[in-house]
Amino acid sequence: MLRIIRTLAGSLAVFLVVGAIAPAAANAYSWGKKTKTDAIATQGQGALISVQVYNRGQTPQGIKVAGQLYTVQPHQTITLKAAPGTDVYANTAGNGYQEGELLFQLQSAMNGATVKFN
């Protein structure tokens, strides 16, 4: 009988120690990309807007959006999807603007709109 009580007490002590250590160990372990969240990426992904950009000029024009380069052919439209507040820069000189100049900034109210340039 005494042996059973010792076994139960020992098992209970092991469970208490493991139960006390497990939460600390779980929080300290790096789970990688599965549980880490990037606040900026998460914020931007949920609030993407779509804007059409139309080149009304006679030559192809380059634009830069969030580090990505796009070429808009003459009299053509491309669709951009980005977070509100994203800046759109000229990647080539055009009618009334220079390379690297800010063309416009995406706003929530522009969702679904067409922006014409050149």
pLDDT band at 24 (very low <50, low <70, confident <90, very high): low
The model's pLDDT over 58-98, given as tens digits with 9 standing for 90+, comes to 999 999 999 999 999 999 999 999 999 999 999 998 878 89
User: Alpha carbon of 36 to those of 26, 30, 39, 41, 117: distances in Å?
Assistant: 14, 9, 10, 11, 40
Residues whose CB is less than 8 angstroms from the CB of residue 50 and which lie 6 or more positions away in sequence, other chains included: 79, 80, 81, 111, 112
pTM: 0.58
Amino acid identity of 50? Answer: S
Q: Is the pLDDT of residue 17 over 70?
A: no
On whether the CB atoms of residues 91 and 63 are closer than 8 A, the answer is: yes
